[in-house]
């Protein structure tokens, strides 16, 4: 074939063959707008979106009706007189723990409610039954008869990192299923509020507003790491959540017993500080003041004077740290303490136990010096040991026991429980009645 005959063929190839850039455009261009949209959605569905998709169906809205009685105002129209009742509704949030209808929320969301309603993520409104609540931990457990509920996936706080992404889902100001995002700002925060001190909170700057109470705080995997509980008044970037380990521990007790059963190892202590420490400074550990006979702590070899510096790998800087970390351990669960005496350090292992049923009354008898009994009007002192702390304070047989550590007591069970709750404290405050008068009496506990 001659050279001249090849030219038309080459020219034809140049005319009819698409250029390389045109080929790339043809390959890169989606075949349809739907395909383009699907591709964009995949790019936009990042780890935050996936986390919300995971936990969102497990977060519910809670409304609680209360009948509030108030005195009618003299200026009320139509001459209304006497007491009037009105219905109050609080809006909060909750989290589904179990597909059978178990929901956890804050105690303050449902406290005093005559009726409680749960609205699920798919819009169903269900009346809830209160199974148990604990004001000291600000947690409550509800039961609803609902099908198709998605239980939350439980995470852990043991490896939480400061600066880690935190996502809050709840019902702020009645705006259901609102999502906010921030970071974990701090761990093991202590917060005081309305006569109680709450410890071991997770602090976050994810926006938490009224109505978020009881809602979920989760990580980027969509796992529950805490229950949103409190905010600092006047601040919109300081919120607090109860760690999920404590939520599970308290919820388990409320489901089994209807109340929280404290655990113990039989030790009482006080925060160890330096002589020059500021009042707000953190301590150096918990100095053991006393060890209860035949307790897990005594069996393991813990002695008065030892300083506990860690519990289950978590640093203990104060008595509050010790109490908080122990409260997250289930009965029968392992407890490992690092204890120091002088330059010597020991690791002690034991198992947490339920507080003995007679511990509260035994403390009153052994350490305060009083025995009490049930009488028609409540509780009365039946004996006061000579030269005991109670005797030196002037208590007498026949006095009435009215209040223990701020809790009114009418039965032996009430008194025992109130003393048990304050077992780790360094003091016991009793209100004793005599001849129509009530007296506050404080006792130091060794």
Residues annotated as catalytic are: 108, 138, 213
Give the containing element (helix H, strand E) for 178.
strand 178-193
Query: Which of 266, 247, 259 has its CA nearest to residue 353?
Result: 266
Proportion of the chain in helix, strand, coil states, percent, rounded to 5: 25, 40, 35
Alpha-carbon gap, residue 300 to 341, rounded angstroms: 15
* Antiparallel, parallel or unpaired: β 165-170 and 102-105: unpaired
- Residue 145: count other Cβ atoms within 10 Å of its Cβ: 10
HSE-up of residue 332 (Cα within 13 Å, Cβ side): 0
Q: How far apart are the first and last CA of the chain?
A: 115
Give CA separation, 23 vs 10, 13, 29, 30, 307, in Å. Answer: 19, 15, 10, 13, 76
> Over the Cα atoms of the chain, what is R_g?
31
Query: Which of 118, 107, 116, 104 has its CA nearest to residue 151?
Result: 104
Alpha-carbon gap, residue 377 to 387, rounded angstroms: 28
- Residue 75: count other Cβ atoms within 10 Å of its Cβ: 6
Q: Which residues of 229-264 are buried (b: 16+ CB within 10 A; e: fewer)?
A: bbbeeeeeebbbbbbbbbbbbbbbbbbeeeebebbb
Are 167 and 218 in contact, with CB atoms under 8 Å apart?
A: yes
- From the centroid of its chain, how far is CA 34? 46
Give the containing element (helix H, strand E) for 389.
helix 389-392
């Amino acid at each position: 074939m001659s050279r001249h005959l090849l030219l038309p063929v080459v020219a034809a190839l140049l005319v009819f063959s698409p250029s390389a850039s045109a080929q790339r455009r043809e390959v890169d261009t989606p075949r349809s707008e739907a395909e383009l949209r699907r591709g964009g959605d995949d790019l936009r569905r990042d780890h935050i979106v996936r986390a919300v998709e995971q936990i969102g169906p497990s977060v519910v809205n809670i409304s609680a009706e209360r009948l509030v009685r108030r005195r009618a105002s003299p200026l009320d129209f139509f001459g209304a007189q006497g007491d009037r009742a009105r219905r109050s509704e609080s809006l909060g949030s909750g989290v589904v723990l179990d597909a059978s209808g178990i929901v956890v929320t804050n105690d303050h969301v449902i406290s005093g409610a005559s009726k409680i309603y749960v609205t699920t993520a798919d819009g169903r409104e269900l009346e809830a039954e209160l199974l148990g609540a604990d004001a000291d931990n600000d947690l409550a457990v509800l039961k609803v008869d609902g099908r198709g509920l998605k239980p939350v996936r439980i995470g852990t706080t043991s490896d939480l990192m400061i600066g880690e992404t935190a996502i809050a889902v709840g019902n702020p100001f009645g705006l259901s299923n609102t999502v906010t995002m921030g970071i974990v700002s701090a761990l093991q925060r202590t917060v005081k509020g309305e006569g109680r001190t709450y410890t071991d909170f997770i602090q976050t700057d994810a926006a938490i507003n009224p109505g978020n109470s009881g809602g979920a705080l989760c990580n980027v995997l969509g796992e529950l790491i805490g229950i949103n509980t409190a905010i600092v008044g006047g601040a919109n970037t300081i919120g607090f959540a109860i760690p999920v380990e404590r939520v599970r521990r308290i919820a388990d007790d409320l489901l089994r017993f209807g109340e929280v059963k404290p655990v113990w190892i039989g030790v009482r202590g006080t925060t160890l500080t330096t002589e020059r420490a500021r009042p707000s400074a953190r301590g150096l550990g918990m100095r053991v003041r006393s060890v209860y006979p035949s307790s897990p702590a005594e069996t393991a070899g813990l002695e008065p004077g030892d300083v506990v510096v860690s519990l289950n790998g978590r640093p203990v800087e104060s008595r509050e740290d010790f109490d908080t970390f122990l409260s997250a351990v289930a009965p029968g669960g392992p407890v490992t303490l690092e204890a120091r005496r002088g330059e010597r350090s020991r690791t002690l292992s034991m198992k947490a136990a339920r507080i003995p049923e007679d511990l509260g009354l035994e403390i009153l008898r052994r350490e305060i010096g009083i025995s009490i009994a049930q009488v028609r009007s409540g509780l009365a002192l039946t004996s006061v040991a000579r030269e005991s702390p109670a005797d030196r304070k002037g208590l007498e047989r026949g006095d009435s026991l009215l209040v223990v550590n701020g809790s009114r007591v009418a039965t032996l069970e009430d008194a025992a429980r109130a003393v048990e709750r304050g077992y780790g404290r360094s003091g016991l405050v009793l209100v004793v009645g005599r001849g129509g008068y009530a007296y506050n009496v404080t006792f130091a506990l060794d």
